[in-house]
Amino acid sequence: MASRDFSTLASRMNPSVPGCPLPMLIQYIRESAIRTCERTLAWRYEQPTFALTPGQYEYTYQRPTDTDVHSIISVTLNDSPLRTSTLEEATSLYPQWGRASTTAEDIAEFGGEPRIISQVNSNKYVVLPTPDAQKTYTMRMIYALKPSRDALDMDKEVFDELESVIMHGALQELLVIPNVGWNNNTLATYHARQYSYRVAEHRANSNLGNMRASLTVRARPLA
Protein backbone atom coordinates (compact mmCIF):
# COMPACT_ATOMS: atom_id res chain seq x y z
CA MET A 1 0.00 0.00 0.00
CA ALA A 2 1.62 3.25 -1.14
CA SER A 3 1.65 6.11 1.32
CA ARG A 4 1.92 9.87 0.92
CA ASP A 5 3.54 12.28 3.39
CA PHE A 6 1.46 15.08 4.90
CA SER A 7 4.31 17.46 4.04
CA THR A 8 3.53 17.09 0.31
CA LEU A 9 0.48 19.32 0.81
CA ALA A 10 2.55 22.18 2.25
CA SER A 11 3.48 23.74 -1.09
CA ARG A 12 -0.19 24.11 -2.01
CA MET A 13 -0.95 25.80 1.31
CA ASN A 14 2.09 28.07 1.64
CA PRO A 15 0.63 30.99 -0.40
CA SER A 16 -2.32 31.23 2.03
CA VAL A 17 -0.19 31.10 5.19
CA PRO A 18 3.16 32.69 4.24
CA GLY A 19 5.81 32.17 6.86
CA CYS A 20 4.07 29.26 8.60
CA PRO A 21 6.73 26.75 9.72
CA LEU A 22 6.63 23.32 8.09
CA PRO A 23 6.21 21.41 11.40
CA MET A 24 3.11 23.51 12.17
CA LEU A 25 1.73 22.90 8.68
CA ILE A 26 2.18 19.14 9.09
CA GLN A 27 0.49 19.24 12.50
CA TYR A 28 -2.60 21.01 11.13
CA ILE A 29 -2.70 18.86 7.99
CA ARG A 30 -2.64 15.72 10.15
CA GLU A 31 -5.38 17.03 12.44
CA SER A 32 -7.51 17.92 9.42
CA ALA A 33 -6.89 14.49 7.89
CA ILE A 34 -8.02 12.80 11.11
CA ARG A 35 -11.14 14.96 11.33
CA THR A 36 -11.93 14.45 7.64
CA CYS A 37 -11.61 10.67 7.85
CA GLU A 38 -13.88 10.66 10.91
CA ARG A 39 -16.56 12.70 9.17
CA THR A 40 -16.47 11.12 5.71
CA LEU A 41 -15.62 7.49 6.58
CA ALA A 42 -13.73 7.56 3.30
CA TRP A 43 -10.70 5.49 4.36
CA ARG A 44 -12.03 1.94 4.42
CA TYR A 45 -9.93 -1.11 5.15
CA GLU A 46 -10.73 -4.79 4.80
CA GLN A 47 -9.00 -6.90 7.41
CA PRO A 48 -7.98 -10.36 6.16
CA THR A 49 -10.37 -13.11 7.30
CA PHE A 50 -9.48 -14.91 10.51
CA ALA A 51 -10.90 -17.52 12.88
CA LEU A 52 -12.14 -16.64 16.36
CA THR A 53 -10.64 -18.43 19.35
CA PRO A 54 -13.00 -20.45 21.58
CA GLY A 55 -13.39 -18.72 24.94
CA GLN A 56 -11.88 -15.42 23.71
CA TYR A 57 -14.29 -12.51 23.42
CA GLU A 58 -11.86 -9.56 23.16
CA TYR A 59 -9.74 -8.96 20.04
CA THR A 60 -7.33 -6.39 18.67
CA TYR A 61 -7.77 -4.81 15.23
CA GLN A 62 -5.08 -5.90 12.78
CA ARG A 63 -4.91 -2.46 11.23
CA PRO A 64 -2.11 -0.84 9.19
CA THR A 65 0.63 0.98 11.09
CA ASP A 66 0.08 4.63 12.09
CA THR A 67 -3.70 4.30 11.91
CA ASP A 68 -6.62 4.11 14.33
CA VAL A 69 -9.99 2.49 13.75
CA HIS A 70 -12.76 5.07 13.82
CA SER A 71 -15.80 2.87 13.28
CA ILE A 72 -16.87 -0.56 12.06
CA ILE A 73 -18.50 -0.55 8.62
CA SER A 74 -19.53 -4.19 8.23
CA VAL A 75 -18.76 -7.60 9.72
CA THR A 76 -19.68 -11.11 8.66
CA LEU A 77 -19.35 -14.33 10.62
CA ASN A 78 -19.23 -17.44 8.45
CA ASP A 79 -20.57 -15.26 5.63
CA SER A 80 -23.59 -14.04 7.63
CA PRO A 81 -23.89 -10.42 8.88
CA LEU A 82 -22.87 -9.80 12.49
CA ARG A 83 -24.84 -7.02 14.22
CA THR A 84 -22.92 -4.06 15.63
CA SER A 85 -23.92 -2.57 18.96
CA THR A 86 -22.76 -0.10 21.58
CA LEU A 87 -20.75 -1.39 24.49
CA GLU A 88 -23.61 -0.44 26.82
CA GLU A 89 -26.07 -2.55 24.83
CA ALA A 90 -23.61 -5.44 24.68
CA THR A 91 -23.17 -5.36 28.46
CA SER A 92 -26.94 -5.31 28.93
CA LEU A 93 -27.51 -8.28 26.62
CA TYR A 94 -24.54 -10.31 27.88
CA PRO A 95 -23.74 -9.24 31.46
CA GLN A 96 -21.34 -12.19 31.91
CA TRP A 97 -19.14 -11.24 28.94
CA GLY A 98 -16.32 -9.99 31.12
CA ARG A 99 -15.66 -13.31 32.83
CA ALA A 100 -11.90 -13.92 32.86
CA SER A 101 -12.15 -17.69 33.03
CA THR A 102 -11.92 -19.63 29.75
CA THR A 103 -12.38 -23.10 31.20
CA ALA A 104 -14.39 -25.62 29.23
CA GLU A 105 -17.19 -25.35 31.79
CA ASP A 106 -17.46 -21.58 31.46
CA ILE A 107 -17.29 -21.72 27.66
CA ALA A 108 -20.07 -24.30 27.66
CA GLU A 109 -22.22 -22.24 30.07
CA PHE A 110 -21.68 -18.70 28.78
CA GLY A 111 -20.36 -19.25 25.27
CA GLY A 112 -22.20 -19.71 22.00
CA GLU A 113 -22.28 -18.52 18.42
CA PRO A 114 -21.40 -14.80 18.43
CA ARG A 115 -24.33 -12.54 17.57
CA ILE A 116 -22.98 -9.01 18.02
CA ILE A 117 -19.75 -7.06 17.82
CA SER A 118 -18.98 -3.94 19.83
CA GLN A 119 -16.06 -1.55 19.61
CA VAL A 120 -14.26 -0.98 22.94
CA ASN A 121 -11.81 1.65 21.66
CA SER A 122 -9.76 2.41 18.55
CA ASN A 123 -7.66 -0.69 19.20
CA LYS A 124 -10.03 -3.33 20.60
CA TYR A 125 -13.48 -4.84 20.10
CA VAL A 126 -15.53 -7.68 21.59
CA VAL A 127 -17.72 -10.37 20.02
CA LEU A 128 -20.59 -11.75 22.11
CA PRO A 129 -21.53 -14.21 23.29
CA THR A 130 -18.03 -15.60 23.81
CA PRO A 131 -17.25 -18.00 20.94
CA ASP A 132 -17.78 -21.64 21.86
CA ALA A 133 -15.89 -24.63 20.49
CA GLN A 134 -18.78 -26.20 18.59
CA LYS A 135 -17.51 -25.03 15.20
CA THR A 136 -15.06 -22.67 13.52
CA TYR A 137 -16.19 -19.04 13.39
CA THR A 138 -14.55 -17.11 10.55
CA MET A 139 -14.80 -13.31 10.59
CA ARG A 140 -14.48 -10.78 7.80
CA MET A 141 -14.33 -7.10 8.77
CA ILE A 142 -14.41 -3.76 6.98
CA TYR A 143 -13.82 -0.66 9.07
CA ALA A 144 -13.11 3.05 8.66
CA LEU A 145 -9.57 4.19 9.41
CA LYS A 146 -8.03 7.52 10.33
CA PRO A 147 -4.38 8.57 10.80
CA SER A 148 -2.98 8.15 14.30
CA ARG A 149 -1.96 11.22 16.31
CA ASP A 150 1.73 10.74 15.50
CA ALA A 151 1.36 9.71 11.84
CA LEU A 152 3.41 11.52 9.22
CA ASP A 153 1.59 10.06 6.21
CA MET A 154 -1.50 8.14 5.13
CA ASP A 155 -2.66 5.95 2.27
CA LYS A 156 -1.88 7.75 -1.00
CA GLU A 157 -5.14 6.88 -2.80
CA VAL A 158 -7.24 8.21 0.07
CA PHE A 159 -5.05 11.29 0.56
CA ASP A 160 -5.25 12.10 -3.14
CA GLU A 161 -9.04 11.75 -3.06
CA LEU A 162 -9.40 13.96 0.03
CA GLU A 163 -6.57 16.42 -0.65
CA SER A 164 -8.73 19.52 -1.18
CA VAL A 165 -10.95 18.69 1.78
CA ILE A 166 -7.94 18.25 4.07
CA MET A 167 -6.40 21.48 2.80
CA HIS A 168 -9.54 23.53 3.49
CA GLY A 169 -9.84 21.97 6.93
CA ALA A 170 -6.25 22.82 7.85
CA LEU A 171 -6.45 26.38 6.50
CA GLN A 172 -9.64 27.22 8.35
CA GLU A 173 -7.76 26.55 11.60
CA LEU A 174 -4.41 28.07 10.66
CA LEU A 175 -5.92 31.35 9.48
CA VAL A 176 -7.57 32.15 12.82
CA ILE A 177 -4.41 31.76 14.91
CA PRO A 178 -3.88 35.13 16.63
CA ASN A 179 -0.70 37.21 16.47
CA VAL A 180 0.73 35.63 13.32
CA GLY A 181 1.46 37.29 10.01
CA TRP A 182 -0.95 35.13 8.03
CA ASN A 183 -4.04 35.66 10.22
CA ASN A 184 -7.07 36.28 8.00
CA ASN A 185 -10.54 35.69 9.44
CA THR A 186 -12.30 36.42 6.16
CA LEU A 187 -10.28 33.80 4.32
CA ALA A 188 -10.74 31.39 7.23
CA THR A 189 -14.51 31.70 6.85
CA TYR A 190 -14.22 30.88 3.14
CA HIS A 191 -12.19 27.74 3.83
CA ALA A 192 -14.57 26.69 6.63
CA ARG A 193 -17.50 26.84 4.21
CA GLN A 194 -15.59 24.93 1.55
CA TYR A 195 -14.61 22.31 4.11
CA SER A 196 -18.18 21.77 5.30
CA TYR A 197 -19.49 21.51 1.74
CA ARG A 198 -16.81 19.07 0.58
CA VAL A 199 -17.08 16.89 3.68
CA ALA A 200 -20.83 16.55 3.10
CA GLU A 201 -20.20 15.69 -0.56
CA HIS A 202 -17.66 12.98 0.24
CA ARG A 203 -19.81 11.54 3.02
CA ALA A 204 -22.74 11.31 0.62
CA ASN A 205 -20.55 9.63 -1.98
CA SER A 206 -19.37 7.08 0.59
CA ASN A 207 -22.93 6.35 1.73
CA LEU A 208 -24.17 5.92 -1.84
CA GLY A 209 -21.26 3.75 -2.87
CA ASN A 210 -19.83 6.19 -5.40
CA MET A 211 -17.35 4.25 -7.51
CA ARG A 212 -15.31 7.09 -9.01
CA ALA A 213 -12.36 6.09 -6.84
CA SER A 214 -11.49 3.10 -4.73
CA LEU A 215 -11.75 3.83 -1.00
CA THR A 216 -11.03 0.31 0.22
CA VAL A 217 -7.29 0.00 0.69
CA ARG A 218 -4.87 -2.88 0.71
CA ALA A 219 -2.97 -4.01 3.76
CA ARG A 220 0.57 -2.86 4.46
CA PRO A 221 2.96 -4.60 6.84
CA LEU A 222 2.16 -4.19 10.52
CA ALA A 223 4.70 -2.75 12.95
Phi, psi of 74 (to 5 degrees): -155, 150
Beta-carbon count within 10 A of 4 CB: 16
* Measured CA distances, 93 to 54, 88, 138 (Å): 20, 9, 22
Ranges of the chain with pLDDT below 50: 100, 210-223
Chain centroid to CA 217: how far?
12
Task: Please tell me the predicted confidence (pLDDT) of residue 109.
Answer: 60
Task: Please tell me the predicted confidence (pLDDT) of residue 218.
Answer: 47
Q: What is the DSSP letter of 15?
A: G
**What span, in angstroms and rounded, lies between the C-alpha atoms of 54 and 132?**
5
Task: Please tell me the predicted confidence (pLDDT) of residue 105.
Answer: 62
Percent of the chain predicted with pLDDT > 70: 86
Task: Please tell me the predicted confidence (pLDDT) of residue 9.
Answer: 98
Segment 165-201, tens digit of pLDDT: 999 999 999 999 999 999 999 999 999 999 999 999 9
pTM of the model: 0.84
Closest CA to 127 of 145, 146, 140: 140
**What span, in angstroms and rounded, lies between the C-alpha atoms of 73 and 142?**
5
